[in-house]
Structure 1
Amino acid sequence: MHVIGAGMAGLACAVEAVRDGWAVTVHDSAPRAGGRCRSYHDPALDRVLDNGSHLMLSANTETRRLLETTGGWSRVVEVTPAVFAFHDLRDGTAFSVRPNAGPLPWWIFTAGRRAPGSTAMDHLSALWRLFRASAGASVADALAGPLYDRVWYPIAEAVMNTAPAEACATSFRAVIRDSLLRGEPACRPWLFPEGLDAALVAPTVAWLEAHGAEVRLTDPVKGLETKDGRIAALRTRSGPVALAPGDVAVSALPAFTVGRLLPDLAPDGLETRAILNAHFRLPAPVNLPPPGFLGLIGGQAHWLFVRGDVLSVTVSAADALAAHTDDEVAARLWADVVRVPAFSHFGNPPPPSRVVRERRATLAHTPGIDTRRPGPRTGLGNLLLAGDWTATGYPCTVEGAVRSGVTAARTARTIAALHGPVE
């Protein structure tokens, strides 16, 4: 099997394929694996940064299985019991949402476990509306009410990377179904104290190579040669690579680049949204209380993550903010940060920072877009698709990417059964 792309979809596909007995080669144009889950040393801040902060939960079962397979799980800290802390910049209110174990959500009947000013009935009625929402309903349509500003808006925007007024309610409820409705054990946040690469990427690459797979970096696949409705060869920087009769190729590239291999693969009508992260090197470390990250309400900064003396600020659906200069972005976000008591003593001006823009980070998860997300099969018999943008049943998340890779590898089993084992 040849996997084109060493992001999380491609790496997950490769691991699953190796477990199935395939000889696997992974091709990528970048010098490092990981795609959008990459870590790097920033010379200006003299710190190792993740390109962006990814909030994963214990509901992410395929990602957990990947981490346990490769040994990366030992580099993850799971926050137990689950808690989500928020700070409302509009009035200074600090609160946390703390679900309970078990399928019965008794936590909503305890004032200290839910958003201030809300009632148990507010929660029940919101979930009732969400699970009755039509295919064309937005998150705002389904969840407008007392909980919207302080709970549903920040969570939905982070999950969907799409403004809740235009985000698809039915896509969002798939995440709520697998997490909040399964109780506290499915809601535990994962922290990556050594960075995403240390947990997700480096152990996976090491596992693949230890199990005989080849990971070819800085060796992009520039084109595909087809014959009789199948991929006959890959055109790579290092030369052509012929595919055996029973071999399979998997394109695990982003939606906006997959059409470069073959124009017919280019997805139609898939809009994207940006994610912006600003990393600040603080004058001194700050320890946030559990869970170690903080959701902000009412400002331009959405989520704060602290690792040592580095504060990472994440902004979802950030197309408008991403148009500003780095200095303007840093100033705007830092103005929100210092309104939080834990950071107020730092004052102005902002400390040294690095702004990272992912201008096409995810799909715009608007109503109807899921009908345009392709499955793993293509019009070519031995070419499959993977990627968080494909039809995973989830928004574009790390879990969605991993699921897509696993699905592609399992689909390859059927193809191999039809054509016999690879020689």
Structure 2
Amino acid sequence: MLDIAEELHRWVEQGRDFAVATVVAVSGSGPRQPGAALAVDTDGTAIGSVSGGCVEGAVYELCQQALADGESVLERFGYSDDDAFAVGLTCGGVIDILVTPVRGSDPVREVFASALAAAARGEAAAVARIVSGPGELLGRALLVGPEGSYEGGSYEGGFGAHPELDRTVAAEARAYLDAGRTGTLEIGEQGSRCGAPLTVLVESSVPPPRMIVFGAIDFASALARMGKFLGYHVTVCDARPVFATPARFPEADEIVVEWPHRYLERTAVDARTVLCVLTHDAKFDVPLLRLALRLPVAFVGAMGSRRTHLDRNERLREVGVTELELARLRSPIGLDLGARTPEETALSIASEIVANRRGGSGVSLTGAHTPIHHDVTSASAPAGRIGSVA
């Protein structure tokens, strides 16, 4: 749901009633991951997607029904090839979809409104919803944010059941939020690991991950555009003011004129940050990579020929970089696409970043026996909105 937060937030502000269908579980080759949503308002306007087209029509009708009767419903869609016109997933997977009405009198509306407002502002927030269990609890929600978000408590809303359930789920949801993940958890009705089980979907919305591009060259301009396309907050850093200008990098969120290693020393990074070193100049690269390879970031890559790579590694060893740290360095940066132009090179680099993030092999899918959609349970939050957590 939070993947369409900006549009839904406008609907809430306009006082519209709507129903939201959310993917809550996927098995096999599902087209969308948990958290993906389709919403339909009382005028029949639809936004978002839950299946890339396979079952959108049937889910649209479920949303209209939920708006009419005010009842949440959990529906499963699987593969169907007995009848070419049957509703089913052509990819062979199975998805569970929860449809929840959000109307003026519904208690969940206030929780959703707060969650959507936070996500639309780019703030960290996580919504926990019961997606399997007693019918009266289905779709009920609570919202958590970073520590200290709510005066007098640690969460907003609740499930209307045992108070320990709210407290336990709130603590679990904050752990998901801290990791930038979206996923499900199983818990008992009284907040313990025993008793009648409930399934709770936790959707996390976190600020976009950072891509820091060092070296204000033409390849960096193309990579900045690609980074924005993938949902990163893009910073371009170079010590040379004549090159690091807004005119040369109009898509960048931030342009910094500073020695790269000094900037990296003072800026905030996290486990989703990617660092792309395109300077291929030892006086910049060595002090920068010496620091970068010791930081808890998702990706460190450096541009250069294989000869440059070998020379750079020797220089890094001379300043104390260990073999274990060197093993983290993606160099030469990018996948082997035969890239020549800055745009093709940016695509090559972005492809390696995505493969590293999602656990892909980088090989052609034609003739391969690898899964098309990899298990991303432990991955970082997808850029910009829903985690998948990354």
Q: Higher relative CO (CA 8 A, sep ≥ 6), structure 1 or 2?
A: 1
Instruction: Give the TM-score normalised by structure 2.
Output: 0.27
TM-score normalised according to structure 1 size: 0.25
